[in-house]
A and B are shown apart, each in its own frame.
Chain A
Amino acid sequence: MPNAQSGFFEWVFFFVRTYGPMFLQGAGTTLLIALTGTLVGFIIGLAVGYVRAIPCAKEDGAVKYWLLKLARTLLGVYIEVFRSTPMIVQSMVIFYGASSVLHINLPYLLAGFIIVSINTGAYLSEIVRGGIQSVDPGQMEAGLAIGMTYGQTMLNVVLPQAIRNILPALGNEFVVNIKDTSVLNVISVTELYFVSKSAAGTYFKYFEVFFITSVIYFVMTFTITRFLRWVEKKMDGPQNYAIHGSQTVPDVELIPKGGATNE
């Protein structure tokens, strides 16, 4: 162990050597919560965005109209509340609310998943709704015009395009979550920030430890940002279509005789 005369780098090496596995574990927890929270939040966002995008007119029947109106109001409240309060406060309210009102002692990790998911869901709902609105209304009309239902057209035509449009925002939300899971330390989730705080507190070496911590956060977010950009590029594919000479058209390959599908 370094002593009082030891320099910055000696302490850094010391922490890396002795706390390395703990840092990695904390980073793993951070990634796990951020990823799960973003994915579950995305599913919440899709569901909420879908409901909020359903067109509703009084002529469609009073029951449907009022149910939709009610659902929308409730979802609107959810979105506003979670977007207008800090996640650190939401963590306290949900975690201690569950224990003192519902008498449920949430495991820390589960509490973390729930908080990040609900919070992300609120942000992504609005993004999904915007994504749906950004798709040309002609796409929905074309689906309806060949007899598909609103829901079928939504699932097969509009949502895939909406999701493609919001992919950058989704990636961004993931990166934000990697950073923001740090607030979960207030409810003792052992993510990277919590682990760092414990290590630093033991030796009163805050600068050294949090220097390491920031490097780990940076590497995670930087790598993921680059990776997502690469994925987006890949998904766009080529802009031009190479025309096959008519003899080389792979008709046979396209229409499998044996019942195999061509996805």
Chain B
Amino acid sequence: MNETVLQVRHLSKSFGDHEVLRDVDFTVSKGEVISIIGSSGSGKSTLLRCMNLLEKPTSGEVLFHGDNIQAPGFNLQTYRAHVGMVFQSFNLFANMTALDNCVVGQMKVLGRSRVQAQNIAMAFLEKVGMSAYVKAKPRQLSGGQKQRVAIARALAMNPEVLLFDEPTSALDPEMVGEVLTVMKDLASTGLTMLVVTHEMGFARDVSDRVVFMDGGVIVESDVPEVVFTQPKHPRTREFLARILEN
């Protein structure tokens, strides 16, 4: 077994009276590609967002290489650079070009010079096939192009882990492929990835492990062959039957 990068322990999260995550335990090893599946409202996004503290857990803890990310003195900024996030709605900085989207964080968080940051940004924009659009503003790009820039922006921060929250759900069908291709490439480079997705093909073929969530708990977590062909839990079976039908 590889070294543990992230560890989620007894994580619970409530919004008011509504308990969205209940005592979730979960470990991520270096180089693992994990798909998180489950129906809408099951707490997948909230789990990812607790892992980079966009949401504050109500109780429980998240450990990064053994360090509690909520401990006083823990450097949250550096941590977030190391554990990047790709959003369903892209969230590219609307006031900046594609290039500057990938540059600003490097300069502000990692203290890189503009020239150095631009070189790194260019390399990653090229990697996602967006080097022809460096000077384009987000509103001039298609959804698939925006998402590829957003991936380049996260990669430019030298992440150890990337969290993807339904990266293709907001895309027109013909653009899903270009983003999935980029993600498959990343998976093959050994990047640790947590991917909330409804793309069952991706979950089955690319991930090392599939996690099924329902009602704020992890119901089942196993290698894709097991989850997809012989799920242990009836709720997993129901969900897969429903989603694979379409």
> Chain A residues in contact with chain B, CB under 8 A?
59, 136, 138-139, 141-149, 152, 156-157, 160-161, 164, 237-241, 243-244, 246, 249, 251, 254-256, 259, 261-262
In the complex, what residue of chain A is closest to B131 when comparing beta carbons? A249
- Docked-complex contact B95 and A244, CB < 8 angstroms: no
**Distance of A164 Cα from B94 Cα, bound (Å):** 11
In B51-103, which residues have CB < 8 Å from any A CB?
52, 54, 56, 76-81, 84-85, 87, 89, 91-96, 99
Q: Which residues of B contact A152 (CB under 8 A)?
A: 108
- Docked-complex contact B118 and A157, CB < 8 angstroms: no
- Docked-complex contact A239 and B91, CB < 8 angstroms: no
- Docked-complex contact B54 and A141, CB < 8 angstroms: yes
Binary interface profile of B, 109-127, with partner A (CB < 8 Å = 1, else 0)?
A: 1100011001100100000
Interface size counted on chain B using CB atoms at 8 A: 44
The 10 closest A-B pairs by CB, nearest first: A241-B140, A142-B91, A147-B81, A146-B105, A147-B109, A138-B91, A147-B80, A241-B136, A145-B85, A147-B77
In the complex, what residue of chain A is closest to B156 when comparing beta carbons? A146
Q: Which of B93, B133, B139, B140 contacts A143 (CB 8 A)?
A: B93
- Docked-complex contact A146 and B84, CB < 8 angstroms: yes
Q: Which of B94, B96, B118, B140 contacts A239 (CB 8 A)?
A: B140
| B1 at interface, CB cutoff 8 A | no
CB of A110, distance to nearest CB on chain B (Å): 36
Whether A145 contacts B79 in the complex (CB less than 8 A), given A241-B140, A249-B132, A261-B115, comes out as no
**Distance of A238 Cα from B80 Cα, bound (Å):** 34
**Distance of A141 Cα from B87 Cα, bound (Å):** 9
Whether A145 contacts B94 in the complex (CB less than 8 A), given A249-B132, A254-B122, comes out as no
- Docked-complex contact A59 and B56, CB < 8 angstroms: yes
**Distance of A261 Cα from B80 Cα, bound (Å):** 27
Q: Which residues of B contact A262 (CB under 8 A)?
A: 114, 118
Q: Which residues of A contact B54 (CB under 8 A)?
A: 141, 144-145
- Docked-complex contact B91 and A164, CB < 8 angstroms: no
**Distance of A244 Cα from B135 Cα, bound (Å):** 10
In the complex, what residue of chain A is closest to B81 when comparing beta carbons? A147
CB of B27, distance to nearest CB on chain A (Å): 22
CB of A135, distance to nearest CB on chain B (Å): 8
